[in-house]
Amino acid sequence: MELVIASNNEGKIEEFRRLLSPLGYEVMSQSEAGIELFVDETAFTFEENAELKARAIFDRLGCCVLADDSGICVDSLDGDPGVYSARYGGPFLDDNGRNQILLRNMRDIPEGERGAEFVCVLHFISEFGDDIEAKGVCRGEITFEPRGVNGFGYDPIFLYEGKTFAEHTAEFKNKVSHRAKALEILLEKIKKYNEIAYGEGGFKNDHN
């Protein structure tokens, strides 16, 4: 069964492909599915943004779709940058620029009060148009300066179990991250859904 990911990010597509192929899905990016769709992430929650992106593709193609929305929420900034994580500080900044702005906005926040969490919401729409949602959260702290070279985005300033995400290996991060947690929850929900829709073992096709 075809499953279109509402993204063209190769890293994301590969991760989703690895985990969803065993369930029988043929995972493809939206460009592989033949559409170029840019959805404005205008909503105020991760949940609504993920649903907006998934629904836009489902309305066009009518097949299974998976969309995600993610970001970092800082306790002392009332949850900012949140849904604005990708554009925090303005559209012309790069990852390092955004990290510097965040550190500057937290310059008066002492150690012990620098709690933050990465959030990932996944929104799946089945071939019948049913919605399945899963949320993963990974809690840590914001450092006082960037550390490490791995990862992307806010990884160099997100401290988790003694190291930043940019100092941990990708393998470690992929086990504990907000995305990994959301995916684990989503996989279980999809398996249960398919068992109800198709009986034990889910649907059958050429891939399983």
User: Which spans of this chain sit near ligand IMP (rule: CB under 6 A)?
Assistant: 68-72, 85-86, 118, 151-155, 165, 177
Toward ligand IMP, which CB reaches closer, 177 or 194? 177
CB-count exposure of residue 68 (10 Å: 0-12, 13-18, 19+): buried
Task: For the CB of residue 158, give the shortest distance to ligand IMP in the complex, in Å.
Answer: 7
Residue nearest to ligand IMP (CB): 153
CB-count exposure of residue 168 (10 Å: 0-12, 13-18, 19+): buried
What would the two tokens of residue 167 be?
Answer: 């100092």
Q: Check 59, 68, 69, 94 and give the catalytic one.
A: 69
Task: For the CB of residue 155, give the shortest distance to ligand IMP in the complex, in Å.
Answer: 4
What would the two tokens of residue 38 be?
Answer: 């840019």
Toward ligand IMP, which CB reaches closer, 1 or 68? 68
79: left (phi over 0), alpha (psi -120 to 50) or beta: left
Active site residue 75: no
Toward ligand IMP, which CB reaches closer, 57 or 72? 72
Say how far apart CA 99 and CA 113 lie, in whole Å: 18
Task: For the CB of residue 41, give the shortest distance to ligand IMP in the complex, in Å.
Answer: 6
Within 10 angstroms of residue 132's Cβ, the number of other Cβ atoms is 17
Contact indicator for 123, 54 with CB cutoff of 8 Å: yes
- 3-state DSSP call for residue 123? strand
Task: For the CB of residue 190, give the shortest distance to ligand IMP in the complex, in Å.
Answer: 20
* Cα Rg, the chain, nearest whole Å: 18
Toward ligand IMP, which CB reaches closer, 153 or 202? 153
Provide the annotated active-site residues: 69
